[in-house]
Structure 1
């Protein structure tokens, strides 16, 4: 796939292909269409990296939703092997998400500022795919739905996720079906610890009768750790490229990102380690 000569890059990457044309590989992966989706609005070379990184992250958000949804359905069917396999595949996607920040790691404030104005009030904070994942993780906030008033499809999906069990809820429901005492309500703030949940996970780790559930606890912790890694890399990328200035979408920038990075996902799984 290399090139024999160095040419000036075509930033539009061609036009969307027509049905039935191109190699089987190009048709299957819809490559002509894929490579027609990058349209920098400035002359700053770093803007293309910013667009590609954003699009890669969005695709990975969709992949994670796919895997976590499979895991949820498997947990509801008491199919632990299928749930664990989906969570494991998801962690690989999470690893790529974390490393995606490397594409922006060397962007200077001058480079970012040279094209920041062209996307106006657009912000990754507005990503419905990202917010859907946050809801799946139990970090639910109904007030955030307001920004999708003009996007009926996204609003409907997010409203459904807000009202439905998250990934952790389904894991706790599985624990309950195994005889452990956990709340049976769907929480809208699963990132806030619950003593009954912590006690249930302690029994999973310490009582032989629940040993089969320990791989689920570890798989969920793998997910949680990678979420925190991603949040921290996001924080550092923003700190490096724009400092403490407000986010483009009106968010509080570093303040919000720092608070998010410090918030444990599935907190009981972390807390119980203090006494083990």
Structure 2
């Protein structure tokens, strides 16, 4: 076994949520915030990195043929029961809400209408609540669907912990920005057992590439969070990944301490013996002098 290096039925939205105005796809978005590269730690202790670092691989797991299609369409959301518990900002969750607008919420009543992206993080959501993961929050139409699948052993090995961890995969398929006229694209979130690592993997075809979206995480209450990208052109390129590391993984997620090989033990014993002889020689020489 090889090892790699250490380090949620949909409920109706309120009328206020239902009438949140759609974003103008032709609006010019001001430059925002992009941490990029390495971000954090936030107050809780999460840190983030990306595929440019070499420590966060952009391996995409396609589950459209095997996963459950949880929700599809425009400004929609639905709950899903997880295949295993997941720890997010110190709270263990067994259900999450998946939404077509590119975010995951711990509030299972979230029906997905939050179409105006929240940034920089932490930011009080314009609608809804709960702790949130934002692979790519924007005003999106998810034509193919939002899929969920749990793997006892993740097809994409963890970047920082043992490579046999299980994982939850949430995939947005057949996505286009509201207003259309652009490329259809996809992206996903991968949540790991025990290490609680969160990985966002961006597929190909997103014409905005971060210019009007949010990528990052924040806690329930919006008092703590990490912004990776916020309304910044070219900040979330195709075929890239963003990894967020939990500060307190379960010890079972860590690689075991490898025993010292037998030949190394022999070498150490030999070295210790040689040093002892040298010390004895020096002591006798000093006594003679």
Answer 1 or 2: higher relative contact order, Cα 8 Å, separation at least 6.
2
Higher helix share: 1
Q: Shorter-normalised TM-score: what interval?
A: under 0.3
Taking structure 1 as the reference length, what is the TM-score of the superposition? 0.23
Taking structure 2 as the reference length, what is the TM-score of the superposition? 0.22
